[in-house]
Amino acid sequence: DKWESALWIMNADGSKNRFLVKGSSARWSPDGTRILYLAEGEPKDNQIFVRWMDAEGATSQITRLLKSPTNPQWSPDGRSIAFVAFVPHERTWEIGMPEPPEGAKWTKEPRVVEDLHYRFDRRGFTEHGFLHLFVVTADGGTPRQITSGEWTVGSIFEGPPANATYDWTPDGTALVFEGVKDESWDAVYDRSHLYRVSVATGAIQQITSEPGLWADPAVSPDGRSIAFIGFPTTSDTYALERLWVIGMDGSGMRQLAPTLDRPLSDVHWAPDGSGVYASVRHHGTANIRFVPLRGDVRRVTDEVQMLSLESIANDRDLTAVGVRTDFDEPGDVVRLSLRRGGATTQLTDVNGDLLANKRLGDVEELWYTSSDGTRVQGWLVRPPGFDPSQKYPMIMEIHGGPFSMYTVSFDFRYQTFAANGYLLLYTNPRGSTGYGEMFSKAIDFRYPGVDYDDLMAGVDAAIAKGIVDTTRMYVGGCSGGGVLSSWVIGHTTRFAAAAVRCPVMNWMSMAGQSDIPFFTHSFFHKPFWEDPQPWLEQSSLMYVGNVTTPTLIMTGELDLRTPMPQSEELYVALKMRGVPTKLLRFQEEYHGTGSKPSNNMRTLLYMMKWYDQWGGEQAKAAAEEGGGRP
């Protein structure tokens, strides 16, 4: 009952596509003779493996660590492998306890907590500790710890070790990484710097000087510059991560493409060092852009798609590979020329056999006007065999974040609801990314706020099409979507039922329960002990007296981001008021309810059963008449 990854290999034209080995995170050695990858090893959990890519295909387990390594990268000469790993660091407090009597088994001493770094620890680590860089020879051996001390590689806010980013210098003598070095650990979440560490000596040099959240460093081909993303420290709830460049010695830091007011990722230097390529998110899509060190941004692709940029070859066409998805196509590997631009060439068809005999629901783009004349984008998924003369029940799903965006990618959940006779509405209200920094900042210090206006305007826009049964409308969402779906039912009675998942109900208690206390506090001008009024006004729990909507609540029992007590507060309040409700406590789940395949299926089926129970039976009948469930 877990998601498993496997490595496949094919020729660059897509031919001879075949299974290679179980594992993930494959990277070619610089000379192309080997790959490194992560796979289940001894001791348990992921370890680093190296496989020779000749006919023999000999494979060696390189690491044998008690804490799984993450984000492995080859050194430029292929002789070493760097990686990030968790280093336990238990705090102690001596109190002069007597020795236990012979044969006695005393309870283990309490864990000593004296800083907010504990919040980072609560994300799933069983011990207090820090993330550090290691290097091991590519033939195997004893890993050598490069960074050490009471600080961490990566940022406090980024979370899992896999998100800790770094890059080798071209000469292989140093690693450039993002890190947080603050002995008090009482810093705001957006404080990190770029550092350079000597592989030979462990000596560390701080590169950036301005406080901020600086991440994803990529060293230029000549080793003189570093491209990275981030933003200066701010008191705002949201700041857009921009693209920057800085000298290896910390000089000349400047922002590239200041007018590029969109989130970006997958930053890769052009082989000639003239600029960087990146995947840029805009209006629900992701396309490749070239950002020169001097001059204007150039569009490489411009399609209704989500396209990542994984790797670039230094050939005549600057051939690149990535993963592409759209409304009808799950992710597949594609090839394109960065030099010539234009359309992608699809190399795989992973789900072609699965979808060959399935009818998908058509997806219609919606642009509509909300409060203050703001234009908002959304999409409406129609059931297969849609009949425009009929009216259908409609589900509105709300995304989390809140600083994220719905995209044009294939979504199995939405197609499942559509196949069962529902219209599915999803929108990017203010607070979403991909529409400019000011659009995202519209909910600064007022969340929920105008995003609720945008959601209701989206419902009205869908109703205006004359295909929605307004007596059978439903609303749901997880995390940030849980915040807003719980807010919705406290401010309107137009929905027949709700599925509120992993919500925040009470910002005051959330500030002391969640693993992101700094982020929670950033939504308000002052801490609640100085001014509790805004904290109460923005808490959905304060409007539970208005709720009449039958509400299903679902949260993981191990959730540290929006902990179970938040859901319990909603459940108890609804039960006391006599509102129909159920609380589902998902076992072995952290944030969200679908990290395990069984729970992923349960989430969909419980939601469908709840909606069917409150007027959705006709949707089931419509689906059966139109060809049955998927």
Among 107-116, 313-322, 434-443, 529-538, where is mean pLDDT lowest? 107-116
pTM of the model: 0.92
Q: What is the mean pLDDT of residues 190-218?
A: 91
pLDDT above 90 coverage of the chain, percent: 77
CA–CA separation, 307 vs 288, rounded Å? Answer: 7
Q: What is the pLDDT of residue 93?
A: 87
Q: How many residues does the chain have?
A: 630
Give per-residue pLDDT as tens, 493-506. Answer: 999 999 999 999 99
Three-state SS for 152?
strand
CA pair distance 170, 224, nearest whole angstrom:
9
pLDDT value of position 183: 47
Lookup: tokens for 180: 């947080």
Is residue 598 within 8 Å of 589, Cβ to Cβ? no
pLDDT of residue 87: 86
pLDDT at 182: 57
Q: What was the pLDDT predicted at 574?
A: 97
Question: Residue 303 pLDDT more than 80?
Answer: yes
Report which of residues 136 and 125 the model is more confident about.
136
pLDDT of residue 510: 93
Over residues 292-299, the mean pLDDT reads 92
Tell me, what's the pLDDT at 532? 95
Spatial strand order in the sheet of 551-556: 363-369, 375-381, 423-428, 392-398, 468-478, 497-501, 551-556, 581-586
Task: Kindly indicate the confidence band of residue 181, based on its pLDDT and cuts at 50, 70 and 90.
Answer: confident
pLDDT band at 295 (very low <50, low <70, confident <90, very high): confident
* pLDDT value of position 305: 96
Q: Is 43 exposed, middle or buried (0-12, 13-18, 19+ CB in 10 A)?
A: exposed
Cα separation, 553 vs 502, in Å, equals 8
3-state secondary structure 379-397: EEECCCCCCCCCCEEEEEE
Give residue 127's pLDDT band: very low, low, confident or very high (50, 70, 90).
Answer: low
Residue 353 DSSP class: H
pLDDT one-digit tens code per residue, 239-263: 899 999 999 999 999 999 999 999 9
How many CB atoms are closer than 10 A to CB 202? 13
Cβ-contact 472, 549 below 8 angstroms? no
Structure tokens at 119: 């919040």
Least confident of 128-137, 240-249, 533-542, 603-612: 128-137
Mean pLDDT over 328-348 rounds to 93
- DSSP-derived 3-state class of residue 535: helix
Bridge partners of residue 133, in order along the sequence: 84
First to last CA, the chain: 21
Could you tell me where the DSSP H helices lie in 507-616?
A: 507-513, 517-521, 532-537, 564-577, 597-611
Residue 461 has pLDDT above 70, yes or no: yes
